[in-house]
């Protein structure tokens, strides 16, 4: 039985988008916004369209501070949510000209006030909002959509449709969008020869002069359809822009997908990367792609033509940028005419899917570069799926080890009256099996982290609930044993500190993934816990206890500067109890914490019989029981 023809899906999505009327309406609103100072807001059939002008504040788009015009998305204005960072924890880079246009809308118009009224009004139902924009307005619409998504301002997610928009951000922004599951909120419509979506792949200094010449002319055409043909000066500027862009996009088309990251270490490529769904349009129809590297390649390959002269291509690059109405009309006509069937007798459904995609975007089914790129994308996706299946099977085995460790924890509490943390520190014969399972689970999660770092898992893997919660449960159950092992091995070394020197990368990464997911869900609010946790929520809790023990001993030896640290630990413990984020085993009489508490209380009472604290009051009434 043949596999599902993966790449026919992209053509079906494109057919749906153009046939349902939303994209055509978005283009209409984009054109109408060309006369606005900052934005326009109109409702149509229950949908609000917020459109941004194509060429307003043109001078604001030109930047020369860096080679490609890139800069930190988190400037001194701090308007974007902190989640817009890469997997390395560094903030995303965006084109500073696009950012300036966005900030101009935010600071010099009533956009925020109108959006807030629209969202908060009790007189109207919450309606879906689509942010739209053409050319530079598309870049603004993209940033506005990211801002709204990051702020969690809406009950339903906004949608963004752009036409001929330049690229906006770097690979870190792509990673952030994937991690937040926002990619499906963006649809970028690109005509086959439109130069603007490709232009930021070239250094900005190489495109600035011709761009400054062409943008006002485009602006005039958008405002007045009757304007005549471009003069020689404009045509020459367009030819220069095209040649300079193709010179730099050529490297993208001539390297395989797995070589592009290595290339970045040799030469400084443009940092910009596409995200979301890209709908490529041509005289043959349309098709959609959502793989960032595939889109990057198609941005170059779709501009190649063996059927037209260079002058004709220059003219297309100029004219198609402002002709999306005609482009969409042609695509609709093609979709009504139905899909062709390419060599049904000689191609598999998979091969036919690729052929239909390539024909639809005007590249041609015989284009080897494009076909190989799509095949490699399919192979990578298959490899990712195979790896996920393998890990899912291994996770089932890992969960058995987790269940056995939970039984070990319960046995330590019920039979021995001590925490499994304190029992494991002794590492008696009865703890050997637990240690073997601890090591086995560490190998499993280390493998996952290594596969993630080698890009052998889907880009949104770290945002999947199944793996986030499995990893979080693992850390909460097993990291206390890692801490116990660390302090057992380093016994006698007072300089040892698990939090500074001993914590493994896997626990740090799993914690980061969990925190990112919690940030994503923060807008929905979390109900306070009604009972204490079965596993202490802070997997590093016992490391804090160990450091508190050392600080208390130092305080008794006259190191009074440790008092502040001990009081901070007390505050931390108070919050943990009040928030019910701690498990009841911590309060067993022989636990390390309870023994520390007895000595800490005795020390303070010796210093001042009237001593009290919030934690003291909780402990005196055994507040953890209620």
> How much of the chain, in percent, has pLDDT values that exceed 90?
42
- 15 pLDDT band, cuts 50/70/90, is low
* Domain co-membership, 604 together with 566: yes
* SS3 assignment, position 63: coil
- Model pLDDT, residue 184: 87
Is 96 domain-assigned? yes
Three-state helix/strand/coil letters over 462-531: HHCHHHHHHHHHHHHHHHHHHHHHHHHHCCCCCCCCHHHHHCCHHHHHHHHHHHHHHHHHHHHCCCCCCC
| End position of a domain, from candidates 499, 524, 549 | 524
- Number of H helices and E strands in the chain, helices first, is 22, 9
Is 379 domain-assigned? no
Give residue-wise pLDDT tens across range 318-342. Answer: 888 988 998 888 888 876 655 544 4
- Model pLDDT, residue 22: 87
CATH of the domain at 291: 3.40.50
Is 563 domain-assigned? yes
Distance CA 275, CA 14 (A): 16
* Domain co-membership, 22 together with 167: yes
* Domain co-membership, 505 together with 541: no
* Domain co-membership, 409 together with 266: no
Q: Is the pLDDT of residue 427 over 70?
A: yes
- Count up the domains in the chain and report the number: 3
* Domain co-membership, 415 together with 507: yes
- Model pLDDT, residue 444: 97
* Domain co-membership, 398 together with 540: no
Is 378 domain-assigned? no
* Domain co-membership, 435 together with 571: no
Neighbours of 273 (CB within 10 A): 21
Is 329 domain-assigned? yes
| End position of a domain, from candidates 317, 338, 359 | 338
- Model pLDDT, residue 75: 73
Distance CA 23, CA 21 (A): 6
Is 24 domain-assigned? yes
Q: Is the pLDDT of residue 524 over 60?
A: no
Is 351 domain-assigned? no
Give the HSE-up count for residue 527: Cα atoms under 13 Å, Cβ half-sphere. 3
Q: Is the pLDDT of residue 11 over 60?
A: no
Give residue-wise pLDDT tens across range 174-204. Answer: 988 988 889 889 999 999 889 999 999 999 8
- Of 398, 399, 439, 405, residue with least CA distance to 423: 405
Residues whose CB is less than 8 angstroms from the CB of residue 216 and which lie 6 or more positions away in sequence, other chains included? 55, 58
* Domain co-membership, 23 together with 160: yes
Residue 52 forms beta bridges with which residues? Answer: 133
Is 568 domain-assigned? yes
* Domain co-membership, 506 together with 541: no
Neighbours of 38 (CB within 10 A): 18
* Domain co-membership, 140 together with 24: yes
* Domain co-membership, 327 together with 465: no
* Domain co-membership, 334 together with 407: no
Domain limits at 243? 14-338
Q: Is the pLDDT of residue 213 over 90?
A: no
| End position of a domain, from candidates 524, 546, 567 | 524
Question: Average pLDDT for residues 85-98, to the nearest whole number?
Answer: 88
Mean pLDDT of the chain: 83
Give residue-wise pLDDT tens across range 340-352. Answer: 444 555 455 556 5
* SS3 assignment, position 121: coil
């Amino acid at each position: 039985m043949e596999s599902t023809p993966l790449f026919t899906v992209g053509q079906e999505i494109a057919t749906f988008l153009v046939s349902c009327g939303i994209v055509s309406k978005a283009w209409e609103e984009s054109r109408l916004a060309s006369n606005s100072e900052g934005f326009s807001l109109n409702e149509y059939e229950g949908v609000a369209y917020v459109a941004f002008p194509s060429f307003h504040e043109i001078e604001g788009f030109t930047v020369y501070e860096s080679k490609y015009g890139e800069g930190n998305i988190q400037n001194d204005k701090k308007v974007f949510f902190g989640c817009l960072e890469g997997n390395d924890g560094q903030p995303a880079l965006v084109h500073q000209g696009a950012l300036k246009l966005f900030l101009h809308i935010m600071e010099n118009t009533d956009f925020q006030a109108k959006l807030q009224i629209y969202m908060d009004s009790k007189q109207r139902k919450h309606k879906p909002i689509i942010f739209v924009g053409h050319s530079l307005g598309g870049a603004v619409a993209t940033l506005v959509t990211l801002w709204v998504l990051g702020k969690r301002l809406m009950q339903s997610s906004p949608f963004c449709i752009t036409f001929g928009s330049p690229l906006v951000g770097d690979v870190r922004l792509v990673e952030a969008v994937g991690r937040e599951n926002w990619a499906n909120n963006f649809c970028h419509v690109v005509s086959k020869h439109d130069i603007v979506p490709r232009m930021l792949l070239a250094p900005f200094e190489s495109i600035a002069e011709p761009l400054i010449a062409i943008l006002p002319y485009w602006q005039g055409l958008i405002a007045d359809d009757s304007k005549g043909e471009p003069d020689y000066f404009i045509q020459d500027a367009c030819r220069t822009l095209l040649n300079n862009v193709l010179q730099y996009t050529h490297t993208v088309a001539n390297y395989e997908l797995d070589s592009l990251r290595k290339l970045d270490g040799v030469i400084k490529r443009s940092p910009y990367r596409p995200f979301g769904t890209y709908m490529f349009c041509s005289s043959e129809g349309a098709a959609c792609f959502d793989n960032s590297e595939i889109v990057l390649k198609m941005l170059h390959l779709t501009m190649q033509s063996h059927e037209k002269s260079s002058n004709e291509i220059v003219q297309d690059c100029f004219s198609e940028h402002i002709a999306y109405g005609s482009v969409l009309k042609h695509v609709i006509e093609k979709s009504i005419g139905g899909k062709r069937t390419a060599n049904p007798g000689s191609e598999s459904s998979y091969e036919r899917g690729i052929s239909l995609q390539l024909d639809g975007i005007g590249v041609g089914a015989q284009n080897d570069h494009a076909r190989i790129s799509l095949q490699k994308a399919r192979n990578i996706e298959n490899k990712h799926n195979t790896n996920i299946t393998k890990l899912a099977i291994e996770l089932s085995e890992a969960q058995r080890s987790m269940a056995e460790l939970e039984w070990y924890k319960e046995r330590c509490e019920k039979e021995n009256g001590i925490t499994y943390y304190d029992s494991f520190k002794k590492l008696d014969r009865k703890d050997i099996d637990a240690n073997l399972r601890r090591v086995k689970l560490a190998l499993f999660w280390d493998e996952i982290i290594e596969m993630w770092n080698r890009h052998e898992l889907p880009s949104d893997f770290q945002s999947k609930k199944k793996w986030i919660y499995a990893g979080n449960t693992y850390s909460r159950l097993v990291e206390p044993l890692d801490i116990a092992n660390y302090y057992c091995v380093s016994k006698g070394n007072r300089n040892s500190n698990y939090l500074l020197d001993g914590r493994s990368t896997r626990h740090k990464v799993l914690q980061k993934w969990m925190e990112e997911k919690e940030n994503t869900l923060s807008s929905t609010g979390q109900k306070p816990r009604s009972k204490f946790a079965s596993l202490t929520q802070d997997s590093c809790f016992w490391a804090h206890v160990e450091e508190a023990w050392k600080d208390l001993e130092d305080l008794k030896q006259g190191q009074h500067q440790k008092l502040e640290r001990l009081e901070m630990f007390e505050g931390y413990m108070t919050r943990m109890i009040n928030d019910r984020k701690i498990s009841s085993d911590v309060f067993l009489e022989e636990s390390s914490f309870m023994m520390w508490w007895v000595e800490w209380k005795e020390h303070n009472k010796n210093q001042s019989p009237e001593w009290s604290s919030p934690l003291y009051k909780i402990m005196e009434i055994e507040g953890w029981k209620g």
